[in-house]
Amino acid sequence: MDDTSANGAARRGGWSAISVYLRPRVALMFLFGFSAGLPYNMTSSTLQAWLTESKVSVEEIGLFGLVALAYGWKFLWAPAIDGIPIPILSRLFGHRRSWLLVTQICLVFAIAGLAFVDPSESKIAVAAVAALVAFLSASQDVVIDAYRIEALKESELTAGFANYNAAYRTAMMLSFTGAVAFVAALEASGFSRQEAWSIGYLTMATFMGVGILGTFLAPESWEGQKARFERAFGERFRTAVIEPFTDFLRKDLWWAILLLVVLFKLGDAFTSELRTYFFLTLGFEKATYGIIQWPFAVFTVIIGGYIGGMIANRLGVMRALWIGGILQMATNLVFIWPAVALPGIVEAIGIPGAAGARQITFEAINAGGIQGYLAFAALAGSVGVENLATGIGGAAFVAYLSLLCGNRSYTATQYALLSSLANQARVTLSAPAGFTVAAFGWVWYYVIATILAIPGLVLLWWLLQRDRRKYGPVTASGASLQNQAAVE
């Protein structure tokens, strides 16, 4: 091949690598990612900031993480989403889009419902409404994940997730940093704390319109789907409820795969559970914290997602998981520095807040000289490094889960099962996080979180070694080159 041909091939290859992100169905993942990411912080970081201001204890805030149990058990009702069409709407919009429209409209009202409860008056009421938001959000995730896997080609899955992840993180930034800054501005304008939070949650509810727009734009036809819903109930029940699980149990080492799904992000999830509480109680004023952390949290995790996708395409998903898992484990330790340094920095440059306690504000950072720079670096640096690792590991992890769902007849159920198990680390297994902090303090909390990441890495290493011995070099799909060739 001459130089001209080689350069032309290189340009075509480069454009092909970029243009995949712009394909209509891949680009559509931006809107769905935004819709999925928006409710997440409504029941986690944003709610955590509200609870912290309302003087809820660290143990109770840790237990509030249980409102998100729906994310860990969504596989229980995923068969209904797979197997039951919505009357009238399914014929108008298609099976997946009809479910999306219903869950998104319900989410608008549920998020708005948080505006009418107050944790200082009834923590149970707040928990109940937050649990409803989490249930609807988890249900929306089931449908979006199924649509993403069904609508995209295998070669588009990583690019689709990268777009999805970028919008997901942007929505998380808006629903936390944007919401907290907006609430702080309302309070500064004279609104009471409860009035400000109510207006904030009502405003966030309106942004679900982005996801509803995506549902109307998404292509899907009922004509190609209706045949499977016209079958006898018994056959539909078997297809929707029994076969998704029996099909998965036929996979080689299915038990090890499920255990890896649970353990892979355990250490990372354990630390993220109290991240907002960590920085607010160590002295950052909420608006200052929200505004500083968002670019380092959002952009680094987006960059990490694209890096993780490139690593997966280049080295294979299993190796990308290994790299991401090690990074996720190691970056838990970066929070030890702010845990040790921030109390002294707050004492040196903190400005008394409304309650009299010293806080790190933008004014304190600007006037604090080297201590101000250290305060900024303690927040921005630790959050940025940790989220970069989360993005790399997360992209590889989602690609791995997607490739495990090979049968399109029950994509929603199988992916919901896997992602539910992954969420057990974030919800159920991380619920004692507040008690761990209360008992051992912040430094040991992060050491313990690092140790919790080790079992998942050991299991991943064992699976990699087994695949090498059985198949040879591992490809992006987690199968060997020889095995893939045999299938093709």
pLDDT of residue 84: 82
pLDDT of residue 412: 66
pLDDT of residue 212: 95
Going along the chain from its start, the domains and CATH numbers come out as: 24-469 (1.20.1250.20)
Cα 26 from chain centre: 19
Are the C-beta atoms of residues 197 and 46 closer than 8 Å to each other?
no
pLDDT of residue 407: 63
pLDDT of residue 446: 92
Are the C-beta atoms of residues 120 and 181 closer than 8 Å to each other?
no
Phi-psi region at 472: left, alpha or beta (left = phi > 0; alpha = psi -120 to 50): left
Residues 400-440: pLDDT tens digits? Answer: 887 777 666 666 677 777 877 777 666 666 667 778 888 89
User: How many other CB atoms sit within 10 Å of the CB of residue 220?
Assistant: 18
Which phi and psi (to 5°) does residue 455 adopt?
Answer: -55, -40
Q: Which residue has the tokens 């997730």?
A: 161
Cα 358 from chain centre: 33
pLDDT of residue 484: 33
Low-confidence ranges of the chain (pLDDT < 50): 1, 4-15, 474-488
0.85 exceeded by the pTM? no
Are the C-beta atoms of residues 363 and 351 closer than 8 Å to each other?
yes
CA–CA dist 40, 18 (Å, integer): 29
DSSP E strands in 302-416: the ranges are 351-352, 358-359
Q: Let me know the angle formed at the C-alpha of 329 by 383 and 459, rounded to the nearest 5 degrees.
A: 150
CA–CA dist 431, 447 (Å, integer): 17
